[in-house]
């Protein structure tokens, strides 16, 4: 008994967190905060948190609904019908996808939580999850917490950052349960093609793999938003995450959605309903209002991002990086010059010498080591100041 007690430790971290580090940006923001306290006035071009506000009508709806005395209780675990109906209409209007608002839509408290929900719903210890390299780090951490063996499939510049199905077919796919896909791709900004989406559906059917498509960037600097669910028979093998964070400047509001077949929604709800008690009703109603916005809304935010992107191009030219000017999304992905060992070295140099932070591409996987990523979520004035600092 005494020996057992000697091995026991108060607050010992669970084995499932082995190899899981604190999120990169969480630690980096602390460092930047310390530098700012020391008077450095760091210009942060690393994080994709929109600095523009939501539409005034969205804020007004939140205010009006929050003032009502009967809006503050627990909510339906499946989300309010007003929001689900708005999501269904939005998917039909913009993506040409038919969704049953009662059975094929599940509102989320942000789509990032949906990644965890999906992993916990479908992954058993030992199952294999395919994640893109480079790709969003949360895919890997969520899959590992769920007990999965993670296999990264490499996206290459010469293949336009699209999956190489020939290479995927060479893998032992027997234990692959889930595959994460994200187009427009983050961090590379690569747009999808219908042909690639069709190949993806065929691949998933052939190998009985569930595809989770993460789709938050389809309206940013892109005139042709696409959903993987628009491909014929996609619901057989696809669930899709989407978000209000980027398209409607509502990152801090934490509103997202999961769309897919009735069976998939019911399965994820079994897990999700044990994790939270629904979303604040005024938030849901304001989100529904956001989905009613017309083309002029998306045009207005993209005008701003286009101007900022030109500034970022100038900044990257100063750093002697190379990049594709046809990227979509909230970032610019750029290859570093040969003189730097990797993106971490260039990022650290710019931060330490110029008090400007850009993201090293290596945090997105080994395929990103020779890259950096620059956010468009800073004003044109801030970007110009960053340019002047680097010039000087």
- Among the three residues 275, 290, 305, which one is the final residue of a domain in this structure? 290
Same domain, 268 and 163: yes
- Among the three residues 231, 260, 290, which one is the final residue of a domain in this structure? 290
Question: Looking at the DSSP assignment, which residues form a beta bridge with residue 356?
Answer: 43
Average pLDDT over every residue of 252-281:
93
pLDDT, position 69 = 93
Same domain, 265 and 303: no
Rounded to the nearest angstrom, the gap between the alpha carbon of residue 28 and the centroid of all alpha carbons in its chain is: 18
Distance CA 237, CA 223 (A): 27
Residue-wise pLDDT for 213-238, tens only, equals 999 999 999 999 999 999 999 999 99
Average pLDDT over every residue of 276-292:
94
Per-residue pLDDT band for 9 (boundaries 50, 70, 90) equals confident
Same domain, 136 and 236: yes
Same domain, 154 and 181: yes
Same domain, 161 and 235: yes
Q: How many domains does the chain have?
A: 2
Per cent of the chain over pLDDT 70 is: 96
pLDDT, position 260 = 98
- Among the three residues 290, 309, 337, which one is the final residue of a domain in this structure? 290
Residue-wise pLDDT for 289-300, tens only, equals 999 999 999 999
Per-residue pLDDT band for 75 (boundaries 50, 70, 90) equals confident
Per-residue pLDDT band for 11 (boundaries 50, 70, 90) equals confident
Same domain, 257 and 326: no
Same domain, 82 and 111: yes
Which residues, other chains included, contact 146 with Cβ-Cβ below 8 Å and sequence gap of 6+?
116, 119, 120, 123, 129
Same domain, 210 and 354: no
Same domain, 251 and 111: yes
Per-residue pLDDT band for 15 (boundaries 50, 70, 90) equals confident
Question: In this structure, what are the phi and psi dihedrals at residue 104, rounded to the nearest 5 degrees?
Answer: -120, 15
Per cent of the chain over pLDDT 90 is: 82
Half-sphere exposure of 375 (CA within 13 A, CB side): 19
Q: Is the CB of residue 235 less than 8 Å from the CB of residue 229?
A: yes
Q: Is the CB of residue 186 less than 8 Å from the CB of residue 328?
A: no
Which residues, other chains included, contact 64 with Cβ-Cβ below 8 Å and sequence gap of 6+?
none
Q: What is the mean pLDDT of the chain?
A: 93
Which residues, other chains included, contact 150 with Cβ-Cβ below 8 Å and sequence gap of 6+?
128, 129, 131, 140, 143, 144
Average pLDDT over every residue of 315-343:
95
Same domain, 44 and 93: no
pLDDT, position 23 = 66
Rounded to the nearest angstrom, the gap between the alpha carbon of residue 352 and the centroid of all alpha carbons in its chain is: 28
Residue-wise pLDDT for 86-145, tens only, equals 999 999 999 999 999 999 999 999 899 999 999 999 999 999 999 999 999 999 999 999
Average pLDDT over every residue of 201-208:
97
Handedness of CA 226, 227, 230, 232 (dihedral sign): positive
pLDDT, position 6 = 61
Same domain, 236 and 364: no
Q: What is the CATH number of the domain that holds 254?
A: 3.40.640.10
pLDDT, position 236 = 97
pLDDT, position 278 = 86
Owning domain of residue 280:
56-290
Question: In this structure, what are the phi and psi dihedrals at residue 180, rounded to the nearest 5 degrees?
Answer: -90, 135
Q: What is the CATH number of the domain that holds 365?
A: 3.90.1150.10
Same domain, 214 and 114: yes
When comparing pLDDT for 188 and 33, which is higher?
A: 188
């Amino acid at each position: 008994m005494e020996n057992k007690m000697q091995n026991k430790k108060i607050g010992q971290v669970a084995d499932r967190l082995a190899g899981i580090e604190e999120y990169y940006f969480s630690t980096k923001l602390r460092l930047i905060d310390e530098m700012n306290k020391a008077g450095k006035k760091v210009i942060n071009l690393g994080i994709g948190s929109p600095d523009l506000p939501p539409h005034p009508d969205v804020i007004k709806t939140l205010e009006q609904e929050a003032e009502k005395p009967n809006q503050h209780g627990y909510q339906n675990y499946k989300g309010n019908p007003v929001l689900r109906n708005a999501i269904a209409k939005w998917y039909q209007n913009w993506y040409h996808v038919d969704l049953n608002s009662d059975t094929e839509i599940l509102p989320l408290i942000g789509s990032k939580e949906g990644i965890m929900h999906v992993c916990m719903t479908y992954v058993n210890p030992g199952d294999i999850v395919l994640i893109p390299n480079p790709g969003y780090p949360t895919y890997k951490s969520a899959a590992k917490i769920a007990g999965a063996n993670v296999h990264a499939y490499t996206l290459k510049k010469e293949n336009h950052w699209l999956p190489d199905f020939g290479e995927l077919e060479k893998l032992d796919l027997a234990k692959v349960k889930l595959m994460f896909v994200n187009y427009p791709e983050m961090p590379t900004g690569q747009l999808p093609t219908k042909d690639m989406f069709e190949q993806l559906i065929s691949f998933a059917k052939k190998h009985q793999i569930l595809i989770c498509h993460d789709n938050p960037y389809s309206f940013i600097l892109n005139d042709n938003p696409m959903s993987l669910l628009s491909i014929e028979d996609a619901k057989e093998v696809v669930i899709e995450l989407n978000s209000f964070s980027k398209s409607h400047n509502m990152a801090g509001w934490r509103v997202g959605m999961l769309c897919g077949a009735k069976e998939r929604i019911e399965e994820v709800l079994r897990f999700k309903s044990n994790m939270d008690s629904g979303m604040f009703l005024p938030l849901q109603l304001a989100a529904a209002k956001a989905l009613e916005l017309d083309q002029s809304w998306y045009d207005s935010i993209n005008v701003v991002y286009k101007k900022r992107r030109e500034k970022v191009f100038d900044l990257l030219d100063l750093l002697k990086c190379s990049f594709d000017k046809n990227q979509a999304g909230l970032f610019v992905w750029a290859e570093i010059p040969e003189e730097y060992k990797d993106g971490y070295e260039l990022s650290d140099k710019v931060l330490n010498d110029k008090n400007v932070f850009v993201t090293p591409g290596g945090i997105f996987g080994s395929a990103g080591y020779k890259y950096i990523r620059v956010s468009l979520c800073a004003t044109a004035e801030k970007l110009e100041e960053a340019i002047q600092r680097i010039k000087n």
